[in-house]
Structures are given as C-alpha cells and as structure tokens.
Structure 1
Amino acid sequence: MTHPGEPHTTAIAGRLNWLRAGVLGANDGIVSTAGLVVGVAGATLAGGPIATAGVAGLVAGAVSMALGEYVSVSSQRDSERALLAKERRELADFPEQELDELTALYAAKGLSEDTARRVARELTAKDAFAAHAEIELRIDPDALTSPWHAAAASALAFTVGSLLPLVAILLPPPHLRVAVTFVVVILALATTGALSARLGSAGVGRAVARLVVGGALAMAVTFGIGQLVGAGVG
C-alpha cells in the first residue's frame, strides 16, 4: 500500500523549483563555457578561435541540456500517467477497497478512524480520482510538467549563463581577457550560489564557497591544459 506523504506541491513551491532549476542551469552554462573559452585562451588569445569555441560550446551545451531535460521529464510524465491510469482502473474495479485505503491514509495522518472515514467518503463522493491522486500518489493530474517547457527552460538558462563568460572574454583587450573573465565568472558564481542557497534555505557561505572554488579550479585546469596543448601544437 502506498504510504501517505506531504501534500502536493503548491503553486509557489512549484515556481521556486523552476527558479532553482534555472539558477542551476545558468551555473552549468557559466562554468562549462568559462572553462572552454579560458582553455582556448590558454593556447591563443586570438578572438576568432575563442569566439568559435565559445559559441559552439554554448549551442552544444544548450542542446544537450534541453535534450536531457526533455528525456528526464518525459520519463517522469509517462510514469505519472501510468500511475494515474492504474488508479482509475482500481477505482472502477475495487471502489470499496479504495475507499478503505483512502480512509487508512487519512487515519495515518492523525485523524480518528471515524473522521478519516467521513473525510474519505466526502472526498470520494466529490471526486474520488482527484482525492486518491493527491494523497496516495502525490500527483496533480492537471499540473503534469510539460517536457517541452522543461527543455526550453533548461536551454534558456544554460544559454544565459554561457553568454556571461563568452562576452567577458571577447570584450577586453587580448592581454586582459583571461583575468577579466576569471573575475567576472567568480562574481557571477558567487551571486548565483547565494541565490540558490536562499531559495533552498541553505547556508549561503558554504554554497558560495563550493561554486567559487569549483569554478576557479575548472578555469585554472583548462587554462593550464590550453597552454600545454598550445605549446605542443606550436
């Protein structure tokens, strides 16, 4: 038997989840594109190769993020639809057993047996399917996530994040490109780290430190590799 869980996600919590996912997608774009363009800058400071690599990385990353999100959300949506279809069949074939199950679920939440039975009967009379979907499956049948929306949001977040290091490395003079990009990326990661921590009610300092250290290491490593490869090719 399915155990009772928390109430279904509210509209505000849903929006926060989307915002948190957007921040994480932007972080991916910032770090991956920064590492790529800084790595190329380690081999050459010419704007053409850096721009080509950055744009290619942006497009490839956005497509990859969108595809991954589409597949993930599609799988989740298929599973949710299968569970909802199964629940519809059980309600049609075993209405009394399903009423007993709903009663047990409310009783497990702390209601007395009589109150739980009365609540279950009233909800069943109003909309049995919605009642079971909410408390038993924790799914809102009218608010299933669209894989297309998720894919578009993921690609957009990655693109926005990627544009920051790409612009930062192309605008300054050649001898300042890596230094300016490093500073801009660190500041951006500190900002998104603080935002994601506040959205998740977590410690800001630790979240910022993780992102800043990780981003700095990524750029340092790729810059070093770029210098080695550039020296070897040259």
Structure 2
Amino acid sequence: MRFPVPHWRNAAPGEVRTWITDINDGIITVAGMELGLVGAQVPQQTAYAVISINALVGALAVFGVKLGERYADREAEADLIRQESDRLALSPDDEKAELIAWFEERGVCPSTARGVADELAAGDALGAQLLIEYGLKKRTTPDIAWHESVQAGVAFLLGAALPVLATILTPWDTHVIWTVAVAATSLTTTSFILSRRGHSNTRATIARSLIVGLSTITISYFLGDLLL
C-alpha cells in the first residue's frame, strides 16, 4: 500500500492542528499517568512498566480510533455519492437548478450562474454537486485512511515518549520535577509551532496548552494519592 506523505511545509493548517493535538495528547496522557503513579506511591520499576505500556497502548488506541473514523467517513461518502448519482440520473435539470441557485445566492448574476452550472455539469456534474452541496472536495481512500491513522498513532507515541524518557533517564528522586519540566517545555514548543503553522494567536495557544496540560497532570497526582 502506498501512502501519500504530505510535506510538513506544505501541510494545511488543519493538518498541523491535528498532528500537534495528537502529540500533545501523548505528552499529557503519559505525564498524567506518571504523576498519578507517584501520588499512589507505586514502586519505581512498576511505574516504568506502566507508563511504557500506557504510551504504546495509547498510540495503538489513537491509531484504531482514527482508522475507524476514517473508514466510517469513507462509507458515508460512498452512500452520499450513490444518492447524488441517482438524483443526477433521474433529474439532471433539478440538480443543475440547485447549482444555479447556489451561485445566485452568492451574488452571481443569473446568466453567469447558469453558464458556470452548464460548464460544471458538462465536465464533472457529480463532483460539482458533491463539492457545492456537501463540501466534499476529496474522497477518503483506503490509503488516506491508513496513512492518517498511522500518522496519528506515531504522533501520539512521539509525544508520549517525552515524559517516558524524562521518567526513566532521570534520578528517581527528581523525576517528578523533570517530568513536569519536560511536559511544560514540550507543550510550549508544540503550541508555538501550532500557532505559527496553524495561524492562531501564539500567546493564547501556549497559555491554553499549559493550563490544560499542567492542570491535568496535577489532578492526576492528587487522584493517585486519593484513590490508592
């Protein structure tokens, strides 16, 4: 199976937001798990095993959920295409009238709207209807579904690896400080990249990520202390 691999520099803002969100999920999830284990006073070796498993299982879960979503999208698109194809076969004039009305509602004069609708109908009538009526620009193929799912799982795993390494590679008596520091630094970095590539406010994006991330891992610590 050949995966389309979009270049980072050419990625759309929506793609960047998705990647960064998956990375941040990995950072927050594993860092939160690690502090929860600290709060529960779990032994060192057990903590290492649990957070490592958490990182791998989390990545697999993200991959599986994304793959299910994209295949569901593919099935919905196929059903939509069948319905629209039937309408075009049964009443092409009515479908063309919908195109004309769509353009006219956006300020195009009737003659121009009709001319554009005629050209679209003569070229790719189905594609025009799907784009204008439903906003369907690109159909989900199996390659796209698998590529996006693998990408999501890898992004989560990359984020999760940071707190795992912070825990395993630092002295046990200071690993909490290192984990929090690595999580905060990582979230700041990813949020900065997100704001620059995703065209959002830098300070607000960083602040949101830090508030959500640090609040989550702090709550995890107290839950571990409370429940175990």
Q: TM-score range by the shorter chain?
A: 0.7 to 0.9
1:38 and 2:35 aligned: yes
Q: 1:106 aligns with which of 98, 103, 107?
A: 103
Q: Aligned pair in 2 of structure 1 residues 183, 141: CA closer, same or farther (>3 Å)?
A: closer
Q: CA deviation at 1:89?
A: 1.0
Q: 2:221 aligns with which of 220, 223, 226?
A: 223
Moved over 6 A (4+): none
What secondary structure sits across from 1:110 in the alignment?
coil
Q: CA deviation at 1:43?
A: 4.1
Tell me the amino acid that sits aligned with residue 32 of structure 1.
T
Q: CA deviation at 1:55?
A: 1.2
Give the Cα–Cα distance (whole angstroms) in 1 for the partners of residues 130 and 190 of structure 2.
35
- Greater mean alpha carbon deviation, residues 200-209 or residues 26-35: 200-209
Tell me the amino acid that sits aligned with residue 174 of structure 1.
W
Q: Aligned pair in 2 of structure 1 residues 120, 40: CA closer, same or farther (>3 Å)?
A: same
1:131 and 2:128 aligned: yes
Q: 1:22 aligns with which of 19, 22, 31?
A: 19
Counting only pairs closer than 5 Å after superposition, residues 180-195 of structure 1 correspond to structure 2 as 180-195=178-193
Counting only pairs closer than 5 Å after superposition, residues 11-160 of structure 1 correspond to structure 2 as 15-44=12-41, 46-142=43-139, 146-160=144-158
Q: TM-score, normalised by structure 2?
A: 0.86
Give the Cα–Cα distance (whole angstroms) in 2 for the partners of residues 14 and 140 of structure 1.
16
Q: TM-score, normalised by structure 1?
A: 0.84
Give the Cα–Cα distance (whole angstroms) in 2 for the partners of residues 35 and 165 of structure 1.
9
Q: CA deviation at 1:121?
A: 0.9
Q: What is the root-mean-square deviation of aligned Cα atoms in Å?
A: 2.3
Give the Cα–Cα distance (whole angstroms) in 2 for the partners of residues 135 and 124 of structure 1.
12
Is 1:65–1:155's contact at 8 Å kept on the other side of the alignment? yes
Q: CA deviation at 1:109?
A: 2.2
Q: CA deviation at 1:222?
A: 2.4
The sequence identity of aligned pairs, in percent, is 27
Give the Cα–Cα distance (whole angstroms) in 2 for the partners of residues 225 and 15 of structure 1.
39
Is 2:13–2:199's contact at 8 Å kept on the other side of the alignment? no
Is 1:38–1:178's contact at 8 Å kept on the other side of the alignment? yes
Q: In the comparison of the two structures, how many residue pairs are matched?
A: 219
Q: Aligned pair in 2 of structure 1 residues 128, 149: CA closer, same or farther (>3 Å)?
A: same
Give the Cα–Cα distance (whole angstroms) in 2 for the partners of residues 123 and 48 of structure 1.
65
Structure 1 gaps, min length 5: 1-11
Q: CA deviation at 1:225?
A: 3.7
Give the Cα–Cα distance (whole angstroms) in 2 for the partners of residues 130 and 14 of structure 1.
24
2:3 matched to which residue of 1?
none
Give the Cα–Cα distance (whole angstroms) in 2 for the partners of residues 196 and 25 of structure 1.
12
Give the Cα–Cα distance (whole angstroms) in 2 for the partners of residues 33 and 105 of structure 1.
48
Q: 2:166 aligns with which of 157, 165, 168?
A: 168
Tell me the amino acid that sits aligned with residue 173 of structure 2.
H
What secondary structure sits across from 1:127 in the alignment?
helix
What secondary structure sits across from 1:62 in the alignment?
helix
Query: Alpha-carbon deviations, 1:74-112, whole Å to 9, x = none?
Result: 222222221111111111111111111111112222211
Q: Aligned pair in 2 of structure 1 residues 225, 103: CA closer, same or farther (>3 Å)?
A: closer
Is 1:169–1:178's contact at 8 Å kept on the other side of the alignment? yes
What secondary structure sits across from 1:181 in the alignment?
helix
